[in-house]
Amino acid sequence: MARRIRNAHARRLAPDRHDPHRSANHRPTAPRTPVLSTGVVVCAFSLCMGSAPAWAQQTDQQQMRSLDEQVQEVKSDVLNIAQELNRLEEKLLYPSGTQVAIFVAVNRGDLMRLDAVRLQIDGQLVAHHIYSAKELEALRKGGVQRIYVGNITTGDHQLDVLVDGKVEGGADFSRTERFTVRKEVKPKLVGLTLAGPGSGSAPIAVGEW
């Protein structure tokens, strides 16, 4: 009798596979998903945030270089357009039939210090230029300056050239020369070559260029 009671008690305690109440209430344990530690997440986030500014900075630099190149191209185009406009304006203002241009040069190797040049055509002042140290240095190295461009009628004209400067020792000198310039029906290019006293050359020489 005692054995039957124990068996019945054991059956009550043992889980019944076919028990509907057990099947409804009991759920299998879900497999665990590995969880990353906080330190790993923070480290990965920091790496992402650190690389983002570098990438953004590189992109900005590329955009700035591209913008710089575009600005330089625009500047070059503007300069070319300005030069072309100047040429067109000169053609309109100074037609070839009446145009005269006067240039200034200095004898190569001359040590005089050129201070100023004044030009008069037919008694009227048409140009007065005071030279800087850079301009004088350029002239001494063989450079040429266009000091005047304008219009005159065909025929003979009086050109007065006044030169002020200093000799090598520092003493002032001044020279004035008058020349006759004949204008024909084509552009007239007049070249003035200047030299200091004691150089052995004419202080002011005029030639057609």
Between these two residues, 144 and 10, which has the higher pLDDT value? 144
Question: Residue 162 in contact with residue 175, Cβ under 8 Å?
Answer: yes
Q: How far is CA 204 from the centre of its chain?
A: 40
The verdict on pTM exceeding 0.85 is no
Q: What is the DSSP letter of 98?
A: T
Q: Could you tell me the fold of the domain covering 99-208?
A: Immunoglobulin-like (2.60.40)
Distance of alpha carbon 50 from alpha carbon 55, whole angstroms: 9
Q: What is the mean pLDDT of residues 157-174?
A: 93
Q: What is the mean pLDDT of the chain?
A: 79
**pLDDT tens by residue, 45-100:** 555 555 556 666 677 777 777 777 878 778 778 878 887 777 777 667 777 788 99
Distance of alpha carbon 11 from alpha carbon 20, whole angstroms: 16
Question: Residue 150 in contact with residue 126, Cβ under 8 Å?
Answer: yes
Question: Residue 100 pairs with which residues in a beta bridge?
Answer: 150, 188
Q: What is the DSSP letter of 124?
A: E
Lowest mean pLDDT among 110-114, 171-175, 195-199: 195-199
